[in-house]
Amino acid sequence: MANLTSTFAGIKSPNPFWLASAPPTDKAYNVERAFRAGWGGVVWKTLGEEGPPVVNVNGPRYGAIWGGDRRLLGLNNIELITDRDLETNLREIKQIKRDWPDRAVVVSIMVPCEEESWKAILPRVEETGADGIELNFGCPHGMSERGMGSAVGQVPEYVEMVVRWCKQYSRMPVITKLTPNITDITRPARAALAGGTDAVSLINTINSITGVDLDIMAPTPTIDGMGTHGGYCGPAVRPIAMSMVSEIARDAETRGMAISGIGGISTWRDAAEFMALGCGNVQVCTAAMTYGFKIVEEMISGLSDWMDAKGYRSVDEFVGAAVPNVTDWQYLNLNYVTKARIDQDLCIKCGRCHIACEDTSHQAITREKDGVRHFEVMDDECVGCNLCVDVCPVEDCISMLPMAAGTKDPRTGRVVSDDYANWTTHPNNPSAKSVEPAE
Ligand SMILES: Cc1cc2nc3c(=O)[nH]c(=O)nc-3n(C[C@H](O)[C@H](O)[C@H](O)COP(=O)(O)O)c2cc1C
Ligand code: SF4
Ligand code: SF4
Neighbours of 67 (CB within 10 A): 11
Mean pLDDT over 278-301 rounds to 98
Cα torsion 340, 344, 350, 354 to 10°: value is 30
Nearest CA to ligand 3 atom 7: 347
How many A from CA of 380 to the centre of ligand 2? 11
- Give pTM, 2 decimals: 0.95
- For 53, 176, 256, 276, the CA distances from 45, given in Å and listed in that order, are 13, 15, 27, 27
Say if ligand 3 is within 6 A of residue 364 CB.
no
Neighbours of 292 (CB within 10 A): 13
Query: Looking at the annotation, which residues are catalytic?
Result: 139
Query: What percent of the residues of the chain are helix, what percent strand, and what percent coil, each to the nearest 5?
Result: 35, 20, 45
Look at residue 323 and give its three-state secondary structure: helix
Q: How far apart are CA 347 and CA 356, in angstroms?
A: 16
Most informative mutation of 54, 111, 204 for ligand 1 (most atoms within 8 A of CB)? 204
Look at residue 66 and give its three-state secondary structure: strand
Say if ligand 3 is within 6 A of residue 389 CB.
no
- For 167, 242, 298, 302, 306, the CA distances from 272, given in Å and listed in that order, are 30, 11, 13, 10, 9
Say if ligand 2 is within 6 A of residue 244 CB.
no
Instruction: Give the number of the atom of ligand 2 that is nearest the alpha carbon of residue 384.
Output: 1
Say if ligand 2 is within 6 A of residue 383 CB.
yes
- Reply yes or no on whether the pLDDT at 434 is more than 70: no
Q: For 157-209, how does the pLDDT look when each residue is reduced to its tens digit (9 = 90+)? A: 999 999 999 999 999 999 999 999 999 999 999 999 999 999 999 999 999 99
Confidence of residue 437 (pLDDT cuts 50, 70, 90): low
Instruction: Give the number of the atom of ligand 2 that is nearest the alpha carbon of residue 340.
Output: 1
Nearest CA to ligand 2 atom 4: 382
Reference 32, options 87, 88, 93, 83; nearest CA is 93
Say if ligand 2 is within 6 A of residue 203 CB.
no
Instruction: Give the number of the atom of ligand 2 that is nearest the alpha carbon of residue 378.
Output: 5
Instruction: Give the number of the atom of ligand 1 that is nearest the alpha carbon of residue 286.
Output: 27
Q: Relative to the alpha carbon of 388, which ligand is closest?
A: 2
Confidence of residue 438 (pLDDT cuts 50, 70, 90): low
Q: For 330-371, how does the pLDDT look when each residue is reduced to its tens digit (9 = 90+)? A: 999 999 999 999 999 999 999 999 999 999 999 999 999 999
At residue 55, the pLDDT reads 86
Confidence of residue 59 (pLDDT cuts 50, 70, 90): confident
Q: Relative to the alpha carbon of 178, which ligand is closest?
A: 1
At residue 435, the pLDDT reads 52
Nearest CA to ligand 3 atom 6: 353
Instruction: Give the number of the atom of ligand 3 that is nearest the alpha carbon of residue 392.
Output: 1
Cross-strand bridge partners of residue 233: 75
Ordered structural domains, the chain, with CATH: 6-325 (3.20.20.70), 329-425 (3.30.70.20)
Q: Relative to the alpha carbon of 380, which ligand is closest?
A: 2
Q: For 1-55, how does the pLDDT look when each residue is reduced to its tens digit (9 = 90+)? A: 899 999 999 999 999 999 999 999 999 999 999 999 999 999 999 999 998 888 8
Q: In 60-192, which ranges are E strands?
A: 62-66, 72-77, 104-109, 132-136, 174-177
Most informative mutation of 343, 350, 354 for ligand 3 (most atoms within 8 A of CB)? 350
